[in-house]
């Protein structure tokens, strides 16, 4: 985990608050996705998925939580399946419903040995070339802990990107967590850029913590 | 004279299909709003042996392919490829336009 932290810290410049990947969990048919997130003081996560078809992907991930008490760490390594439950392709918009689930192994300095941990969640999103909206719910469920986050994102593009141009988005995010992680509603203002197969995102929370995420499709 | 006429007619029927061969195929596609997600369409289209070049335009809801000389891809194959990429094809047309013309038009 130490090597993972160092590798991600080298890739991402900013210390960040708690965040999970908000982009779609499936790239495209026969495509691979690598996602890296760094949460300074709260969370670090790395994921890698492969999508044989446009409607499902599978892969592995590792996540570490640092609780608000600043003394408890929980680590989960997992395998996960992502599915596209429904898509609407409209003339100038797309809407999706994603679901995911998986199983892993959890370790912590709060208990000895390891425990089985289930992860599951769902996301619904709607976007045009100007407006992005998504609502996501995420669970990490072990015997010794159960973390649940809900995330709402609303994004606006200052200009409409095209296929081979840089996309720029300003995204407002509101998130609730279970209390051991964070008490209350965290809001964040994020700046998102993507072009070709690279997506980077960075922002600041109401607690003045920086957040960042990088994702690569290939 | 009759033999010559038949000969000219035969040659015409042989030559016409070559001149009538479409250079490009333009597809109107729904759901094209995110370039990051649409990468798969270009990759899929480039896998066809008959594909020379591909243009994707979100603004125009367009996926265009230029074909190699004398080669073609059926409408059925193209519709399946777009569907398998997670999108919906709602229109298709073939023309003599070059891919360069289409690229210039979408960038203007």
Cα A14 to Cα A19, A49, A71: the distances in Å are: 13, 24, 22
Among chain A residues, CA nearest to B42: A163
Test mutation, B86, B90, B106, B107, chain A, max A CBs within 10 A: B86
User: For residues A196 and A190, what is the distance between their CA atoms, to the nearest angstrom?
Assistant: 20
How many domains does chain A fold into?
1
Helices (DSSP H) in chain B: which residue ranges?
2-20, 35-46, 75-84, 99-107
Task: Report, as an integer, the average pLDDT of B3-22.
Answer: 63
User: For residues B1 and B96, what is the distance between their CA atoms, to the nearest angstrom?
Assistant: 35
A115 touches chain B (CB under 8 A): no
* Kind and range of the H or E run holding A44: strand A43-53
pTM for the model: 0.84
The pLDDT tens digits of the residues spanning A20-38 come to 445 677 878 889 999 998 7
Set of chain A residues whose Cβ sits within 8 Å of the Cβ of B58: 129, 160-163
Look at residue B75 and tell me if it is in a domain: yes
Set of chain B residues whose Cβ sits within 8 Å of the Cβ of A93: 31, 33
User: For residues A29 and B58, what is the distance between their CA atoms, to the nearest angstrom?
Assistant: 19
| The pLDDT of residue B7 | 73
Residue A144's CB is within 10 A of a number of other CB atoms, namely 12
A199 touches chain B (CB under 8 A): yes
Question: Splitting chain A (218 residues) into consecutive groups of 10 residues, what average pLDDT does each group show?
Answer: 44 34 74 83 84 96 85 93 97 96 95 95 96 94 90 95 93 84 83 92 88 90
CATH assignment at residue B102: 3.30.70.100
Task: Report, as an integer, the average pLDDT of B7-28.
Answer: 70
ipTM above 0.85, yes or no: no
CATH assignment at residue A187: 2.40.160.40
Look at residue B16 and tell me if it is in a domain: no
Look at residue B10 and tell me if it is in a domain: no
The pLDDT tens digits of the residues spanning A64-103 come to 888 877 788 899 999 999 999 999 999 999 999 999 999 9
**Cβ distance A102 to A119 under 8 Å?**
yes
Q: What tokens does A196 get?
A: 């070709």
**Cβ distance A103 to A119 under 8 Å?**
yes
Residue range(s) defining the domain that contains residue A41: 2-217
How many domains does chain B fold into?
1
| The pLDDT of residue B35 | 86
Q: In a 3-state reduction of DSSP, which class is residue A73?
A: strand
Residue range(s) defining the domain that contains residue B83: 22-107
User: For residues A11 and A13, what is the distance between their CA atoms, to the nearest angstrom?
Assistant: 7
B21 touches chain A (CB under 8 A): no
| E strands, A93-161, in order | 93-108, 111-127, 131-142, 146-156
Look at residue B13 and tell me if it is in a domain: no
Distance from CA of A71 to the nearest CA of B (A): 39
Look at residue B3 and tell me if it is in a domain: no
| The pLDDT of residue A19 | 33
The pLDDT tens digits of the residues spanning B34-80 come to 888 888 899 999 999 999 999 999 999 999 999 999 999 999 999 99
* Kind and range of the H or E run holding A80: strand A73-90
């Amino acid at each position: 985990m130490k090597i993972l932290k160092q590798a991600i810290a080298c890739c991402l410049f900013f210390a960040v608050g708690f965040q999970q990947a908000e982009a779609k969990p499936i790239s495209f048919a026969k495509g691979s996705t690598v996602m890296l997130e760094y949460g300074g003081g709260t969370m670090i996560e790395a994921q890698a998925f492969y999508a044989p078809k446009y409607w499902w992907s599978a892969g592995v991930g590792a996540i570490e939580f640092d609780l608000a008490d600043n003394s408890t760490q929980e680590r989960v390594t997992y395998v996960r399946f992502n599915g596209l439950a429904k898509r609407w392709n409209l003339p100038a918009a797309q809407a999706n419903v994603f679901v995911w689930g998986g199983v892993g192994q959890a370790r912590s300095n709060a208990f000895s040995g390891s425990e089985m941990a289930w992860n599951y969640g769902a996301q619904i999103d709607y976007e045009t070339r100007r407006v992005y909206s998504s609502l996501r719910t995420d669970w990490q469920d072990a015997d010794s802990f159960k973390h649940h986050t809900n995330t709402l994102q609303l994004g606006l593009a200052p200009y409409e990107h095209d296929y081979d141009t840089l996309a720029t988005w300003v995204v407002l995010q509101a998130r609730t967590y279970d209390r051991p992680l964070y008490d209350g509603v965290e809001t964040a203002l994020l700046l998102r850029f993507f072009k070709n197969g690279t997506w980077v995102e960075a922002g600041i929370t109401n607690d003045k913590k920086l957040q960042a995420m990088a994702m690569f499709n290939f | 004279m009759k033999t010559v006429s038949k000969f000219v007619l035969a040659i015409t029927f042989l030559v016409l299909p070559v001149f009538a061969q479409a250079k490009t195929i333009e597809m109107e596609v729904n759901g094209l709003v995110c370039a990051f997600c649409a990468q798969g369409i270009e990759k899929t289209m480039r896998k066809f042996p008959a594909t020379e070049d591909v243009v994707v335009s979100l603004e125009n809801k367009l996926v265009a392919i230029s074909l190699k000389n004398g080669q073609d891809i059926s409408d059925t194959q193209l519709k399946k490829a777009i569907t398998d990429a997670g999108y919906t094809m709602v229109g298709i047309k073939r023309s003599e336009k070059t891919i360069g013309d289409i690229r210039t038009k979408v960038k203007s």
